[in-house]
Structure 1
């Protein structure tokens, strides 16, 4: 799928998010990478074979503060 030299990481590699952008739609919250990965703004991913990678959330986000 990737025509770049050197080739971008495949969708199965650990660094798959380093592939180049093909389409970017921040208003919709997603980007398509040249390896076929759909990357969502919440850090979730949809791989070309249909597998879902759950969003990665930081554990040190701190306490949630709400207005009274």
Structure 2
């Protein structure tokens, strides 16, 4: 369980990326969050249960740029 106050978001929550970073390896392109999620510099994720989350960027949402 997360020792931080307030507790970090769980790995299955929509805000899981807001958890604190506990280890970072920028030379390898990844960081480990307190909730067990591994985030990659391309915005992909590896969840603690082994599920892979494909890279997701704001441009992937299909929204048109606002002028």
| TM-score, L = length of structure 2 | 0.84
- Structure with a larger share of its residues in helix: 2
Q: Secondary structure of 1:39's match?
A: strand
Counterpart-to-counterpart distance in 2, 1:56 and 1:13: 16
Q: Secondary structure of 1:22's match?
A: strand
CA apart distance, 1:56: 1.1
* Greater C-alpha Rg: 1
Could you tell me which runs of 5 or more consecutive residues in structure 1 were left unpaired when the two chains were aligned.
Answer: 61-68
Could you tell me which runs of 5 or more consecutive residues in structure 2 were left unpaired when the two chains were aligned.
Answer: 63-67
Match of 1:65 in 2: none
Deviations 1:17-39 (A, max 9, x none): 00000001110000000000000
Match of 2:46 in 1: 46
Match of 1:23 in 2: 23
| TM-score, L = length of structure 1 | 0.82
Q: Which runs of 4+ in 1 moved over 4 A?
A: none
